[in-house]
Structures are given as C-alpha cells and as structure tokens.
Structure 1
Amino acid sequence: MSDRMPVLYLSHGAPPLADDALWTAQLAAWSAELPRPAAILVVSAHWEAAPVTLGATTTVPLEYDFWGFPDRYYRVTYPAPGAPALADRVRGLLTAPGTPVHDAPARGLDHGAYVPLVEMYPEADIPVLQLSLPTLDPGRLLRLGRRLAPLREEGVLIVGSGFFTHNLRELRWDAGPDEAPAWSKEFDAWGREALDRGDVDALLDFEHAAPAGRTAHPRTEHFAPLFVTLGAGETDLPGQRTVIDGFWAGLAKRSVQIG
C-alpha cells in the first residue's frame, strides 16, 4: 500500500454550508476516511494572484471574502497552524528563473479554504497553507499541479477548492439536494463521465466540449482548481472517484478524490 496522499477537488459552498446537515456530514465522513495529513495545501477559487503567491504562512485572521450574510458567519474562526516549512518546500518546487513565488503573509485563509476545513478538520490542528491561482488557463494549472505532486509523498493533502457548476445568477435557493436546472445537471453528468474516463483533454476544453459549459461557468475560476488537482494526481487518475455529488441551490457539488 502506498504512503502517497490522495488529492482532492471539492465544491466548497458558501458560508451557509455550515447550516446544511447533509453536506457537513458528507465532508466530515470524507475526512474521517483519509490518512491524516501532515499539512494541507489549498488552492481556492477565491484567490487569483500572479505570480504564484503563498498566504497564511503563519496563523493570521481569516479572510471574510463575502458580503451580505448574517453576522454569525463573520465570527467563524479557524486558527490552524501556519505551514512555513511547507511554504519553503513549495517555493523550491515552483521557483524557476523568471517565475518567482511571492508571499502574502498577512493574507489569511479565504472561505474557499476554511469553510470546508471547518467541517473536515474542526480541531484546526493541521498546518494549512494557501496557494493562489496564478492563471485560469487549464493547461498551465495542470502543469502547476504536476510540479506540486511530490508533496503527496511527504504527507501533504493537496486540495483544489471550487464548485463543479457555478452560476450565481441562476441560484435556486429553494431547490432540494437532487434538484437543479437542466444546464447544471447536463454539465455535471458530462464532467462525471469525463472524469470516469480519465479524459483530461476533454476536461481541459470544458468551455467548448461540455454541454452548457459557459452557462455552468460564466467565469471559470471555480472549475480552475480542478486542473491543479488533476495535475497533482495524474499518476493515479484512473482511480479517481466521486465522494460527494448532488446539488446545492441548483449548483453541482461534485467532489472527487484521486488516489
């Protein structure tokens, strides 16, 4: 049995995920089945910065990067230890001539990172580092993930955090966990089939190859972390599996594990 850590892509939800008994239970059950990480590296849809930038290298306040929610969502804390050693390792893997890695030590974990981690690792006792999305180009993100892959042999859980479909103009707050508009269901089914086939080329071209690709992702930042996950998990891709599926407010919350 390999000691290599799996790689995750998860749909992270908005802060009200904490009120969804089904989804929080699914995330908690998922983490209970995983090997305990030495550290966690998160690539979130909610932080785009180029060149690659590292945040939360020490424990700093969270980024409450959302607006218009009740006050209780702004009182959530997640004081996970910083991961300066992991930050050094990531710099070593990613720094190349002309492509430096920047630091944003005052930037805390955003909700794409801490909202799922509160449910998966509620004790906040595992070091967490956040890595920015330096681009939305799928091919470049795939290559970024490949360069991060050695971390898996070092006990690091790499997490791409987005949303499998993400069109906020089409939210249906009254929809049940199996209810969604046709575009969301069609894209989700296409994505599941492409993942099951290990068809990375189709996934890279999702805006054109998928049904309703541009409706499912009017802007692509929530699908983009999947490509980091695919790159980091490439050697184990035939063994990927969906851990969470269904819908939330009409959006597909498909979340997958590679390895």
Structure 2
Amino acid sequence: MKGVLLAAPDLEVVAQTTYTPKFLELNQWDSLWHDTTQGEGTIIGVIDSGIIPTHPSFKDDGLPPPPLKWHGRCDFRKSVCSYKLIGAMAFDGGTHPLPLDDDDGHGTHTAGTAAGNFVHDAEVLGMARGTASGMAPRAHLAVYKVLYKKTGKDSDVLAGIDQAISDGVDVLSMSLGLTGSPGLPEQSATIGSFAVIRNGIIPSLCAMNDGPFPSTVVNDFPWAPAPTTGE
C-alpha cells in the first residue's frame, strides 16, 4: 500500500520487575553519588502503568523547576503535579478520558526506583527501616501510562514513546515487553528504543527473564541497556 512502511500485529505487552543505593555503595555523604547532581536537571520518562502521585517518593522538596527544553504536560490535577512530577499522560487506543493513577503499583515502583526523592524512616512491615530513594532523586519525572492491570498494546507503547521524545525527556524507562520470543521487527520496544537513541535519549529496558530457552531474555537488542536479575 502506498505510504505504508510496515504492518504488524498490535500485540499485547506485559509489565516486568530500599537498599539498592546501599548495595551499590552509594550514599549521600562520601561516595561518587555525593559528588554528582543526583539527577538534577534530568528528565526521566517512565512508560508503564501510571503512578500514585501522592506517594512520598514524589515530593518535590528542594527541586528546581524543569529545564526550559521541557514541552510536555501533566494531566493530573494541579495539586499533585509538581517540580518532581512534571508530566503525566495516558494512552489507550485514543479513548478519552483515561485514568492516570497506577492500578497495580508497577509504574509507581519503577518511577520510584529511577527518580524517587529521599524518604526518611522508610520501612516495610516494620522492618528494614532507613532512608529510601531512587537512583536519581533530584531528577524530574514524566509518566506515560500504557498498561492497564499489567497489560497493554504495542501501539500505545509506541504512542507513549513518540510523546516522550516530543516532550524532551533525557532518559526513557520501559519495564515491559512481549512474552515468548517474538522477532525483533514485531516488538514495540525494539522499534521505539531505536528511535529514542536516534533522538539522543538514553533508553533503559528490563531484559525480561522470559526468553525461548532457560537462562535467556526477551529484550536483547544491542542498542538498549537492559538490566536484569534472575536465574
């Protein structure tokens, strides 16, 4: 068909994922982390299941305004949009209005891992009390919701990627992907992450411990970092 470059099935994608800084020997006082800006001035985009904006990890205490290059918008109510959460949009095949709130916690978790601000006296069920933070606690967050109850569509992932590029993010996190062993041209993460790199943005994907054979992964294309843990 004239003007068509590629036609592919709109496949289903699924979600995948307080002591990480300590494990990496990073702290606020005497490490390499201390000598950096801890992400200040960086905009991290997160394509996932939305976010719980009132979580204490997303307070904007001490954060500056977003960089002038930021062109996005925050579709949450004004009272929760902030210098930390500067962007929020949802995609679901063009249906409007859409809920932005995280319906299963996955997006909140990944956003907090990337850019959660310092939360003192954090604990889990009364244990592991300490200071929790993301890896770039002074970075800004832009959230693009494409997952609903942990699943979504390739087309919405691509729409979110296009929006993030247009908005001006510096890093784009995508902890999602297809199950099984799809071919590279069939994966939104493949096409999208390549476009992300071509626009000078750093993509970060989960590897997904779900490859075609034991000890293999799904997101294994060479141009995108894909950190993982597992057996």
The normalised TM-score by structure 2 is 0.41
Higher relative CO (Cα under 8 Å, sequence separation at least 6) belongs to 1
The normalised TM-score by structure 1 is 0.37
Bigger helix share: 1
